[in-house]
């Protein structure tokens, strides 16, 4: 019978569910991976473990409100059939900025630039990097767990969307259209904020 070893037995990592368990070989590999990250000075090492997708009660996601010529991009969620921004889970071995850019590229095929107006620190040296900070941070419940979401604004130089699936539904939305669409209020607030920050009109 496979022996299970709780994660807490071999690595101290705030935010990791103590009830999560790996088989002993998996635990050894995970511990070795963690130690390698620490030796490389990876400040996201603990963060990666905390938001893994192994049934934990909490995971981390990134979402991006993309602006192009006074319109913001919204995408219909496949499962819940509501208009949301572009985004998804932050995967192991990537930081939140990388996750945001990857999700945008995967879901709508756009190359974007994350808005860094809130960036106060810019020194990058060796393995140390300052990341573009999110404009918002929220938490909400999905069907099975809590999502902690880092919200970004971004600009796209083009509006040609290449959807991940042919059945995907998306649209570029103006400020006026946002007022009349059936949206969750948090989505409307973020979308309006993105247009105010990145649109050519600040009114």
CB atoms within 10 A of CB 42: 16
Give me the domains of the chain, ranges plus CATH numbers. Answer: 4-50 (no CATH), 58-198 (3.90.79.10)
With a cut of 50, which residues of the chain have pLDDT below it?
A: 1-23, 34, 37-39, 41-54, 203
- E strands, the chain, in order: 4-6, 21-23, 58-68, 71-76, 83-84, 86-89, 112-114, 136-141, 146-156, 170-173
Question: What's the pLDDT tens digit per position in 14-40?
Answer: 333 333 334 455 555 655 664 554 345
- What is the average pLDDT value for the chain, to the nearest integer? 79
> Could you tell me the pTM of the whole model?
0.72
Question: What's the pLDDT tens digit per position in 167-177?
Answer: 889 999 999 99
């Amino acid at each position: 019978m496979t022996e299970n070893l709780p994660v807490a037995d071999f690595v101290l990592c705030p935010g990791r569910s103590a009830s999560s368990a790996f088989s002993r070989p998996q635990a050894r590999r995970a511990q070795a991976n963690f130690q390698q990250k620490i030796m490389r000075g990876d400040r996201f090492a603990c963060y990666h473990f905390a938001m893994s997708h192994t049934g934990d009660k909490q995971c981390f996601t990134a979402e991006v409100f993309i602006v192009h010529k006074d319109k913001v991009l919204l995408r219909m969620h496949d499962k819940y059939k509501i208009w949301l921004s572009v985004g998804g889970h932050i995967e192991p071995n990537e930081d939140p900025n990388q996750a945001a850019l990857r999700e945008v590229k995967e879901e709508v095929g756009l190359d974007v630039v994350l808005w860094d107006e809130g960036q106060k620190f810019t020194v990058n040296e060796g393995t140390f990097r300052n990341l573009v900070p999110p404009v918002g941070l929220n938490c909400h419940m999905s069907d099975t767990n809590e999502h902690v979401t880092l919200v970004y604004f971004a600009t796209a130089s083009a509006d040609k969307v290449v959807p991940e699936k042919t059945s995907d539904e998306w649209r570029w939305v103006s400020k006026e259209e946002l007022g009349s669409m059936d949206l969750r209020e948090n989505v409307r607030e973020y979308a309006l904020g993105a247009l105010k920050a990145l649109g050519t009109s600040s009114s």
